[in-house]
């Protein structure tokens, strides 16, 4: 595949440069991502020890002092002890009744187009600022898609609970795939008959109606993994301030304002194409910074270059990093809401009420039933989990042991504020904890470490 790149730069004056570039990128197919389906070539033999809670034993007899382990795979009536590997002899029936998630190896690589335009300005001898626009458009992003979706005509719509579809679709009917309907198979293809006899889908007398109304009902579920259907688009403003290391001080600041959307989910299972929504792979704002400052005391610095003061206060350096960004958007299930979506983010924003919980349907008896079309978005603009807001600092000092050998002692303080970053709140309106934050993320609490090393 062709991966073109093109870029250019133009110097407006001695302190100003324009830069622009474009690139086309493809995802790779890593050989470790997928393995061949081993159905028929890898099989487990299980032994049923008892079917009546130990009244009788099918392997061993512990009541008589005989452990099942003395003969864990007893001889069967057909003269076998193990379920044989059948290889590919089952043909197209190998996965029937078991459900299957497969990857179509006629796979299209995910593709990304990216372009950037920026202007950089030198403010003084050590400091520059750059403002840039970055755009990205991606397609063929792999998604998981069911191929056995219940067709749209069997679902009900509305903002009021309707159980008619649920009652109809979950109704038990006679199972047309029951193995007793294929008695002749026992003689014509005993291997296939034995295979079907081990699958509950074919041995049950009844089956739910919705299973029979789906495409490929004999599969009992069929999903295409890595279907090349996803898309995304991102536009961002990036501002960078850099001060190179001079006079013992350096600074890097970066701010990004980003708008990212992705077609990465199916609003209803029968949708042929994914729907667009705001992406959680980006944040609307992100601010980062890092800096180093060397105190001007000690050998090679401005003051106290030698003597007792150099020994006492020389060689110190302090550094810090900072990171801030809003939390991820909350993911919602299908529910009923009777107000304006914008009102949800107007809550008091406390641990006991992270968002405005008014106007949600809280009664389980009135919540959407199964097989009821989605009426609530998966994400609501501005309703997010807790933000990232963290400072890290370190202090170090170097001791000169001799020419070419230095002892460095350093103390790192991660998460200086000892700030807890909370997990998302409960978003199930029928829960008594609805709107509550009851957990925290795995983000590091305050962590202090001391280290020393000798450089030579």
pLDDT at residue 338, as a whole number: 96
Local structure of 179: helix, strand or coil: helix
pTM confidence score: 0.84
Digit-coded pLDDT (tens) for 67-101: 989 999 988 777 888 887 888 999 989 999 999 99
Identify the DSSP state of 217.
Answer: G
Digit-coded pLDDT (tens) for 10-44: 999 999 999 999 999 998 876 556 777 888 888 78
- Residues 383 and 14: their CA atoms lie apart, in Å, by 46
Task: Quickly count: other Cβ atoms within 10 Å of residue 139's Cβ.
Answer: 16
pLDDT at 50 over 60: yes
Q: Give the CA distances from residue 417 to residues 287, 388, 411, 421, in Å, rounded to whole numbers and listed in that order.
A: 17, 12, 16, 11
Mean pLDDT of 140-164: 96
Q: Give the CA distances from residue 56 to residues 63, 65, 74, 79, in Å, rounded to whole numbers and listed in that order.
A: 9, 13, 15, 22
Digit-coded pLDDT (tens) for 230-261: 999 999 999 999 999 998 999 999 999 999 99
Digit-coded pLDDT (tens) for 289-304: 999 999 999 888 888 8
Q: Give the CA distances from residue 234 to residues 109, 144, 248, 256, 364, in Å, rounded to whole numbers and listed in that order.
A: 19, 22, 38, 12, 39
Digit-coded pLDDT (tens) for 362-400: 999 999 999 999 999 999 999 999 999 999 999 999 888
- Residues 36 and 455: their CA atoms lie apart, in Å, by 51
E strands of 303-361, at which residues?
A: 316-325
Domain boundaries, the chain: 45-73+82-87, 148-221, 283-456
């Amino acid at each position: 595949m062709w991966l073109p790149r093109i870029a250019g730069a133009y110097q407006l004056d001695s302190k100003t440069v324009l830069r622009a570039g474009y690139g086309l990128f493809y995802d790779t197919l890593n050989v470790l991502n997928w393995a061949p389906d081993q159905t028929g070539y890898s099989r487990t033999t299980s032994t049923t020890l008892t079917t009546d809670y130990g009244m009788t034993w099918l392997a061993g007899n512990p009541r008589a002092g005989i452990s099942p382990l003395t003969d864990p795979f007893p001889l069967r009536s057909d003269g076998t002890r193990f379920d044989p590997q059948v290889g590919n002899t089952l043909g197209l029936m190998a996965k029937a009744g078991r459900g299957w998630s497969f990857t179509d190896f006629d796979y299209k690589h995910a593709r990304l187009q990216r372009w950037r335009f920026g202007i950089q300005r030198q403010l003084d001898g050590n400091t520059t600022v750059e403002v840039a626009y970055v755009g990205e458009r991606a397609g063929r992003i792999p998604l998981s898609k069911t191929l056995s979706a219940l067709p749209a005509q069997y679902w009900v719509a509305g903002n009021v609970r309707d159980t008619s579809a649920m009652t109809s679709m979950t109704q038990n009917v006679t199972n047309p795939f029951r193995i007793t309907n294929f008695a002749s198979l026992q003689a014509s293809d005993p291997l296939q008959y034995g295979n079907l006899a081990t699958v509950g889908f074919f041995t049950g007398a009844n089956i739910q109606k919705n299973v029979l109304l789906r495409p490929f009902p004999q599969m009992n579920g069929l999903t295409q993994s890595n279907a090349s259907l996803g898309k995304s688009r991102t536009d961002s403003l990036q501002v960078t301030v850099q001060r190179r290391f001079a006079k013992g001080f350096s600074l890097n600041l970066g701010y990004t304002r980003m708008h990212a959307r992705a077609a990465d989910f199916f609003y209803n299972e029968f949708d042929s194409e994914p729907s667009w929504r705001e992406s959680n792979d980006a944040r609307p704002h992100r601010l980062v910074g890092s800096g180093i400052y060397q105190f001007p005391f000690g050998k090679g610095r401005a003051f106290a270059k030698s003597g007792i003061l150099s020994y006492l206060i020389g060689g110190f350096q302090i550094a810090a990093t900072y990171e801030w960004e809003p939390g991820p958007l909350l993911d919602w299930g299908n529910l009923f809401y009777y107000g304006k979506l914008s009102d949800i983010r107007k809550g008091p924003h406390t641990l006991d009420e992270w968002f405005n919980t008014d106007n949600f349907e809280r009664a389980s008896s009135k919540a959407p039933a199964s097989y009821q079309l989605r009426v609530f978005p998966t994400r609501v603009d501005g309703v997010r989990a807790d933000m990232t807001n963290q400072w890290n600092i370190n202090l170090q000092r170097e001791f000169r042991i001799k020419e070419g050998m230095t002892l460095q002692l350093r103390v790192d303080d991660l998460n200086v504020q000892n700030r807890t970053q909370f997990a998302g709140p409960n978003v199930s309106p029928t829960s008594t904890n609805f709107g509550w934050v009851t957990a925290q993320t795995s983000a590091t609490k305050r962590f202090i470490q001391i280290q020393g090393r000798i450089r030579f």
